[in-house]
Amino acid sequence: MSQGLDDVIAAETRLSSVDGARGILVVKGFSLDQIAGRKRFEEVAHLLSEGLLDHLPDAKAFAARLGAAREAVYPLAQYIDDALLALPPMDGVRALTARIEDGEDVATALRLLAAPAVLLPAFLRRRRGLAPIPPAATAGHAADMLHMLTGEVPAPDVAGALDTYLVTVADHGLNASTFAARVVASTWSGLTSSVLAGLAALKGPLHGGAPGPIIAMLDGIGKPENAESWIEDALDRGDRLMGFGHRIYKVRDPRADALKAAVKRMSADSSALPGRLKLAEAVERAALKVLHARKPDRPLDVNVEFYTALLLEALGFPPDAFTAVFATGRTAGWIAHAREQRLTGRLIRPQSIYVGPEPAELV
């Protein structure tokens, strides 16, 4: 038995492969560096859904229909009330997404894909006492999300940084949230239910919930020269360092470098970012040194979340919204995996070993 299902193969997929020993991510025949920063999120979401959704339009029409889907889900923003605003953004987005009718068709898939890009900015604006901004159907998905957040049309390299991020996290093998989405899909429950399962699983700090606390860590460390002692203290307390370690990667997570490159491209135009980047690089160096000294047998390296935190902070998202931005990209993977699982027709139903008490003998 494997407590965390390590090394258990639970699906056959054509969607993505993660080589943890060599640090290589392949998405539908493309290595990460062939798509991150080169293809738009709409194209990658289309690529992932190809062959899995009936009546899928071509890539150009898909992008146009995604714009229309952003408009179609925008009215859900009316359900953002004070009770919802008291929740963390990820829970708010999940509650709003639950209002999308369950189905297996392209229209449902597009609405689910559009939902976080529209509803997260609306939620964040309402929380700041501002009116939500409606989507612009003809804009790029990443650019439109930023416009709905800030009210300004983003510069191309700023929109490009978010696009790079969404593509980088769009799919990643059988991670916990994707597995959760596939389990639900295997019951023939519908795409909305699968995406809700993905959202619920992604939220935890061991999965997609790590980048918010990374900002708290950087703020706590403050200056590069404090990094090593801060990290030693944290590990002495038994804390885990957010943004480091991975179940599959035994080497550096290739997504970290794709995101670091995007942060560097953006930092040329920003006054605050170079200092933040310098601090993050010092924290990364110190963390690797300390982790290696403490765990020489288990190579722990930086994971996707570390530079995610820097990138999303620079784009203007508050730390408690980072996981919902992650979900904006990963929904593309969840939908494709849910359909792939559904098409097998097979219910996922593993077994457990009972170690509880046996019933007393009947007299």
Round to whole Å and give the CA distance between 29 and 47: 10
User: Apex CA 304: angle with CA 298 and CA 309, to 5°?
Assistant: 125
Instruction: Report which of 256, 121, 116 is spatially closest to residue 199, judged by C-alpha positions.
Output: 116
Query: Is 337 in the active site?
Result: no
Binding status of residue 244 toward ligand ACO by CB under 6 A: yes
Work out which of 277, 304, 312, 321 binds ligand ACO, going by CB under 6 A: 304
Of residues 56 and 176, the one with the C-beta less far from ligand ACO: 176
- Among the listed ranges 116-124, 129-137, 207-215, 333-341, the one in contact with ligand ACO (CB under 6 A) is 207-215
Site string for ligand ACO, 1-40 (x = CB under 6 A): ----------------------------------------
Within 10 Å of residue 33's Cβ, how many Cβ atoms? 14
Work out which of 187, 200, 232, 247 binds ligand ACO, going by CB under 6 A: 247
Instruction: Report which of 337, 349, 4, 345 is spatially closest to residue 181, judged by C-alpha positions.
Output: 337
Binding status of residue 300 toward ligand ACO by CB under 6 A: yes
Judged by DSSP in three states, 192 sits in helix
User: What are the Cα distances from residue 276, in Å, to 136, 169, 217, 266, 286?
Assistant: 32, 22, 12, 12, 15
Q: Which of 42, 305, 313, 340 is catalytic?
A: 305
Query: Is 305 in the active site?
Result: yes
- Among the listed ranges 71-79, 217-225, 295-303, 348-356, the one in contact with ligand ACO (CB under 6 A) is 295-303
Of residues 144 and 253, the one with the C-beta less far from ligand ACO: 253
- Among the listed ranges 20-28, 298-306, 314-322, 337-345, the one in contact with ligand ACO (CB under 6 A) is 298-306
**CA 298 to chain CA centroid, nearest Å:** 25
Question: Which residues 6+ apart lie within 8 Å of 126 measured at CB?
Answer: 77, 80, 85, 132
Binding status of residue 242 toward ligand ACO by CB under 6 A: yes
Binding status of residue 139 toward ligand ACO by CB under 6 A: no
Round to whole Å and give the CA distance between 145 and 312: 13
Q: Which of 172, 246, 313, 337 is catalytic?
A: 246
Of residues 65 and 246, the one with the C-beta less far from ligand ACO: 246
Binding status of residue 333 toward ligand ACO by CB under 6 A: no
Token digits of residue 151:
């009210």
**CA 158 to chain CA centroid, nearest Å:** 19
Residues in contact with ligand ACO by the rule CB under 6 A? 206-208, 210, 240-247, 295, 298, 300, 303-305
Q: Which residues are catalytic?
A: 246, 305
